Amino acid sequence: MMSSEEETEFGLYTDKLLKKSKRTRQRVDAGEPRNSYSSIPNFSSRPSFLGGSNNLYGAIFTQQQHFGLFGPGFAPTKMLNELLGRQKAESGADGEEVTKFDAVIRCDGSPPSGEQLAHHMLRDILQGRKHELLVNHEHILNNNNNETKGDAERGDVEAAVAMQECLAEAGVGERQQVDLMEDALNGMETDSLPSPKVEPRSPAKPEDAKKARVENIVSGMRSSPAPPQVNGCKKRKLYQPQQHDSTADRYIDDEEEETEPLRQKQVEKNALKTQLRTMQEQLAEMQQKYVQLCTRMEQSSEDSREVEEIPSDSEQSKRSPIASPVRSIATPNQPQPTLSQQVSKLKISPPGPPFHNGLLHEHHHLSNAAAMYLGVSQKFLLEQEARMAKEAAVAAAVSEAQSQAHHQHHQPPSKTENITERLSMIKSNVTPTGTDLEGLADVLKTEITASLSNLIDSIVTRFVHQRKFRSNEGTAAAEQLNKDLIMASQLLDRKSPKQKPIERPHAPPPPPPNNPMVNGHDLPVRPPMFQPPKPPGINQVPLYSMNHPFCVTKQESEQNEALSLVVTPKKKRHKVTDTRITPRTVSRILGQDGMGMSPASMEPTPCTSPRPPPYPQPPPPMLPVSLPTSVAIPNPGLHESQVFSPYSPFFHGPSHGHHMAMQTPSSPPRMHKMERESPPIHHPPTLLHPALLAAAQHGGSPDYGHIRAPSGGLNMDNGDRNSDCNSGGDISYDGMQPTISFLCRIPEVSLTSEHSSTLTPMHLRKAKLMFFWVRYPSSAVLKMYFPDIKFNKNNTAQLVKWFSNFREFYYIQMEKYARQAVSEGVKNADDLHVSGDSELYRVLNLHYNRNNHIEVPSSFRFVVEQTLREFFKAIQEGRDAEQSWKKSIYKIISRLDDPVPEYFKSPNFLEQLE
C-alpha cells in the first residue's frame, strides 16, 4: 500500500509538474496529500506505539486529553472553592467580596488585628472606598497628622505601619473625612504641584475655599477634554467610549469642552496623581501584607516539615526590604518626590533570600508581578506628567469663568454626602474627553482589584495545594500515566486525526489520599517550582498584567503593531511576534555563551530523551522515493518497544549524567565528527520541565524595569468570537480594552483562563520549542498542545503558518549549510555531523529556542543531521537542479517527527516561558 501510494504520489506530481509549466517557481510540496507525511497511518518509521487499533487508543486519547487538561489543577480548584465556601460560612456576615480574604487571613488560624486591618483595607479598596483612603493617606503624608491614629498602634504587624495609619485614618468620621480630604487636596496643591498656577487659597475662609476647590476638581474631571492619548499609546480609543458618551451627555456644559482651563487641569492632575500614588502605595502595602501572610502560613504549615530555610529571624530580613520602599513614601515630613519617583521606589522588587518552598516562591513570583504593575504605572505617570506639563503650557489662558460655571451646574454636595463617593460617582460619568485619565483610573482600579484578588487566590490555592500534595504523593503516578497516555495519543493523532473527542467517561485524576505511589517512577522530590498546576488563570492575570498596554509605549514593539492592527477597523490577523529577550534570559545569556546551557537547563531534563541508537535506521539516503514501507504494517511488537523505549515515560535508561554537546568553543568548527552521544540517557521522567526548573532557580526577582517582557497576551480577546466578528468588535474597542478584558472579565478569561482564541507571543515561543520535536504537526496535534486556545479557523491557520515558517527557515538553513559543506569539499554525507557547537545548530537554537527555555532534545540534533545529509547528498549529486528536489527530503524529514513531551500541555509551561 505504501509503495503504491508513493508511486502514485510522485507520479501524479511529476505529471502535473510537466503539465503546468505555467508556474515558474518550483513547487516542492504544494498539494501534498493532506498531512501526507504524518497522517498516513503508521507512516512514521518510528516504532508504532499504537499499532493499528486506532479505536481503542482513540478512546484513551480523547479521554486523557481531558485528563491532561484538567490535570492536577482540577482538584485544587475545587478544594479552594470548598475552602472559601466554608470560610465564608464561618465568617458570617462579612461581605461576599471579602470571603477570599477571610480565607486567606484565617488560614493560619489566628487572625491578629494586623490582619484584620488588612482585611478591612482590602475590602475598602474593593468597595471603592479607596478614595477615602487615598485622600486620608495623602493627608498623612503631607501633614503628618497623627491625631487620629487611634488604635492603629495595637496592630501587631510592625511592617504595616503605613497601612495601619491609613486604615486608622479611614476609620474617622465622615465629617472628619471631608476635612481631611480637603486638607489633602490643599496640601496637594501646595506641596506636590509643580506648576505655580494655582489659585491661592484664601486663609480667611478656608472651608469655603476648600470646598470650592473640591468642586473644581470634580467639575474639572468631568469636563477636561483630554486628548485621547493615553500613556503614549497614541490615539487608541478609550475605554468604553459608548458608555461614557451616553452618560456624559448629561453633564456636558455648553462651553466646557471648548477650552481646557489650566487650573482645572492641574487640579485634576493632582487629584489623579494623588489617587494613583496612594493606590500604588496601597498595593505595595498589600504586597507587604501578603508577605506576612505567606510567612505566617509558612510557619503554620511548616511544623511537620524541615525548617531549613526560614528561621523566624529571616522573616525580618525578608520583610524589611519590602517594607522599606513603602515606608520611604509614607514617611511624613519628607519632601515629596515626584510621583514617578515614588512609583519607582515602589517598583523595587523585594530582594531577599530565595525561598524554595512553594509559598515563598510564589510570593516572589507575585511580587514581581506586582512590581511589573508598578513599573507600568510608573511609566504611565511619567508620560502623564509630561503630557500634563505640555498641556499646561498650551492652555495658558485660564478660564475662571468656566470653572465658575461648573460650580453653578453642580451644587456643592450636602455636608453629609461623602465627597469621595461623589468623586467616584462623577468619575464614572465623566465626559469622553476626560476618558484618558478616567480610563487610567478605571484601569488602575480594576487592575489593582483584580491583582489583589488573584494574589490572594493564588496564595490560598498554593497553600491548599501544598497541604494536599504533601499528604498525597500518588498524584505523581497519575500524572505519569497521564503523560504516557498523551504520548500515545499523540502518535495516534497523527495517524487518525479525525477522531472525535469523547466525553471523559470518568472523573479526573485526583487520586484518593494516602494512595501510595503506583510505581516508584515519579518521586515526590519535586523542586518547588512545580506545584500542581494552579487552577487555570489564577496566575494568568498577574502574568498578563505584566503585559499591560501601558508597557507598550513608544517603542514600536511588535506587539504594538498587533494591537494597533486590532484597533483598525480592518480585520487583521493578530500578529504575534516573539523574540524579545526576557530579563531572566538576559542574565542567563550574559552569564553564558549564547548557546551555553544555563545551569538550570543542566538540571535533569526529563522528556528530552536522546534519540535512541536502536532507532530504525534512517531511510536509504540515496533513494528518497523509495520509502520504507515496512513501517506501514502495524506491529504490535513495536508497540511494546515503544512503551519501553526511551520515549516512554516508563523507560528508565542508565541514570548517569546526560551530556548534550552544547558547549560553545570559541571557534567552533561548523561541522565535525559528532560524538555519537554516549549511551542515551534518560532521566527518570518527571513533569518537571527545564523551563520550570529555571523558573524555580531564577525565580527570584528579575528586574522588569530594565527590559520589559514581551507584551504578549494583550492581543484583543475579541478572537473569542471567531474571525467574522472581529471586525465589528474592533471598532468599539479602545486602547484600554485589552487590559479591561483581561482584568475585568476574570470569570471569562482568567478563571476559565483556557480559551482565549488569541495566540500570544508566549504561544509562539512554545510553538517554536515544539518544533524541536515536530516539524510537521497536524493541526489536531497542535490543538492538542495548545489547550488554552480556543481554536477557530484563523488561529489554527496562524499556528499552522507558524510551523510553515519554521520549516521554511529550517530548510533554508539546511540547504545553506549543505551547500557550504559541498563547497568545502566534504565527500561523504556521513562525514557531516551536527553537534551542539555546530554553527548550524546554534543558528537553529537561536531561532527556535532563543532564550534557551528548554534543553534541545538530542533527537532534534539527529533530525538536523539527517536533514543536512539529505540536502548534502542531493546537492552533491546535482539533484538540486531538478524540480522539486527538496520534496523527497521533506518527506524524509517529515517522518522524523517525535512525540512532543507532554509537559508542553501544562499551563505552567506557557507561564514559564515568560
- Applying CB under 7 A, which residues contact DNA? 9, 12-13, 16-17, 20, 22-23, 25-35, 37-38, 497, 572-579, 759, 764, 768, 776, 778-780, 793, 796, 798, 800-809, 811, 847, 884, 886, 890
Helix axis angle, 419-427 to 206-223, nearest 10°? 20
Instruction: Kindly tell me which of 31 and 637 has the beta carbon lying closer to DNA.
Output: 31
Distance in angstroms (rounded) separating the CA atoms of residues 135 and 270: 11
Q: How far is the CB of 836 from DNA (least distance, A)?
A: 21
Q: How far is the CB of 743 from DNA (least distance, A)?
A: 24
Instruction: Kindly tell me which of 122 and 889 has the beta carbon lying closer to DNA.
Output: 889
Task: Count the alpha carbons within 13 Å of 76 in the hemisphere toward its beta carbon.
Answer: 28
Query: Residue 47: exposed, middle, or buried by beta-carbon count in 10 A (0-12, 13-18, 19+)?
Result: buried
Instruction: Kindly tell me which of 23 and 205 has the beta carbon lying closer to DNA.
Output: 23
Query: Which helix or strand (DSSP H or E) is residue 454 part of?
Result: helix 435-471
Q: How far is the CB of 591 from DNA (least distance, A)?
A: 24
The neighbouring-strand residues paired with 233 are 230
Q: What is the 3-state secondary structure (H, E, C) of 628-693?
A: CCHHHCCCHHHHHHHHCCCCCCCCCCCCCCCCCCCCCCCCCCCCCCCCCCCCCCCCCCCCCCHHHH
Distance in angstroms (rounded) separating the CA atoms of residues 671 and 840: 8
Q: How far is the CB of 738 from DNA (least distance, A)?
A: 17
Instruction: Kindly tell me which of 30 and 393 has the beta carbon lying closer to DNA.
Output: 30
Question: What are the residue ranges of helices labelled H in 26-108?
Answer: 54-70, 74-91, 99-106
Instruction: Kindly tell me which of 51 and 761 has the beta carbon lying closer to DNA.
Output: 761
Amino acid making up residue 843 = V
Length of the chain: 914
Q: How far is the CB of 35 from DNA (least distance, A)?
A: 4
Distance in angstroms (rounded) separating the CA atoms of residues 678 and 64: 35
Q: Cα dist. 45→85, 758, 777, 862 in Å?
A: 54, 35, 16, 14
Q: Write the DSSP symbol of residue 258.
A: T
Instruction: Kindly tell me which of 576 and 868 has the beta carbon lying closer to DNA.
Output: 576
Q: What backbone torsions phi and psi does residue 132 show, to the nearest 5 degrees?
A: -60, -50
Q: How far is the CB of 29 from DNA (least distance, A)?
A: 2
The neighbouring-strand residues paired with 230 are 233
Instruction: Kindly tell me which of 22 and 250 has the beta carbon lying closer to DNA.
Output: 22
Q: Where are the beta strands (DSSP E) in 363-478?
A: none
Distance of CA 571 to the CA centre of its chain: 25
Q: How far is the CB of 839 from DNA (least distance, A)?
A: 19
Q: How far is the CB of 885 from DNA (least distance, A)?
A: 9
Instruction: Kindly tell me which of 240 and 718 has the beta carbon lying closer to DNA.
Output: 718
Instruction: Kindly tell me which of 454 and 758 has the beta carbon lying closer to DNA.
Output: 758
Query: Which helix or strand (DSSP H or E) is residue 436 part of?
Result: helix 435-471
Q: How far is the CB of 866 from DNA (least distance, A)?
A: 15
- The C-alpha cell of 196 is what? 505655580
Instruction: Kindly tell me which of 430 and 691 has the beta carbon lying closer to DNA.
Output: 691
Distance in angstroms (rounded) separating the CA atoms of residues 654 and 761: 37
Instruction: Kindly tell me which of 21 and 312 has the beta carbon lying closer to DNA.
Output: 21
Q: How far is the CB of 32 from DNA (least distance, A)?
A: 5
Distance in angstroms (rounded) separating the CA atoms of residues 723 and 795: 9
Question: Are the C-beta atoms of 39 and 494 separated by less than 8 Å?
Answer: yes
CB-based contacts of 909, cutoff 8 Å, min separation 6: 689, 691, 692, 766, 903
Q: How far is the CB of 56 from DNA (least distance, A)?
A: 23
Instruction: Kindly tell me which of 316 and 804 has the beta carbon lying closer to DNA.
Output: 804
Q: How far is the CB of 727 from DNA (least distance, A)?
A: 12
Q: How far is the CB of 868 from DNA (least distance, A)?
A: 16
Q: How far is the CB of 36 from DNA (least distance, A)?
A: 7
Instruction: Kindly tell me which of 12 and 389 has the beta carbon lying closer to DNA.
Output: 12
End-to-end CA distance of the chain: 46
> Considering only CA atoms, which of 489, 139, 198 is closest in space to residue 336?
139
Q: How far is the CB of 323 from DNA (least distance, A)?
A: 42
> Considering only CA atoms, which of 898, 854, 858 is closest in space to residue 660?
858
Q: How far is the CB of 766 from DNA (least distance, A)?
A: 11
Distance in angstroms (rounded) separating the CA atoms of residues 48 and 412: 80
Question: Are the C-beta atoms of 529 and 692 separated by less than 8 Å?
Answer: yes
Instruction: Kindly tell me which of 270 and 888 has the beta carbon lying closer to DNA.
Output: 888
Question: Are the C-beta atoms of 187 and 332 separated by less than 8 Å?
Answer: no
Q: Cα dist. 298→263, 412, 461, 463, 732 in Å?
A: 51, 51, 13, 9, 47
Instruction: Kindly tell me which of 247 and 577 has the beta carbon lying closer to DNA.
Output: 577
- The C-alpha cell of 162 is what? 503605613
Instruction: Kindly tell me which of 772 and 803 has the beta carbon lying closer to DNA.
Output: 803
Instruction: Kindly tell me which of 485 and 782 has the beta carbon lying closer to DNA.
Output: 782
CB-based contacts of 105, cutoff 8 Å, min separation 6: 111, 115, 116, 118, 119, 293
Q: How far is the CB of 728 from DNA (least distance, A)?
A: 17
> Considering only CA atoms, which of 699, 774, 608, 852 is closest in space to residue 349?
699
Q: How far is the CB of 635 from DNA (least distance, A)?
A: 23
Instruction: Kindly tell me which of 125 and 781 has the beta carbon lying closer to DNA.
Output: 781
Q: Write the DSSP symbol of residue 750.
A: I
334-373 per-residue burial string, b: 16 or more CB within 10 A, e: under 16: eebeebbebbbbbbbbbebebbebbbbbbbbbbbbbbbbb
Distance in angstroms (rounded) separating the CA atoms of residues 673 and 130: 68
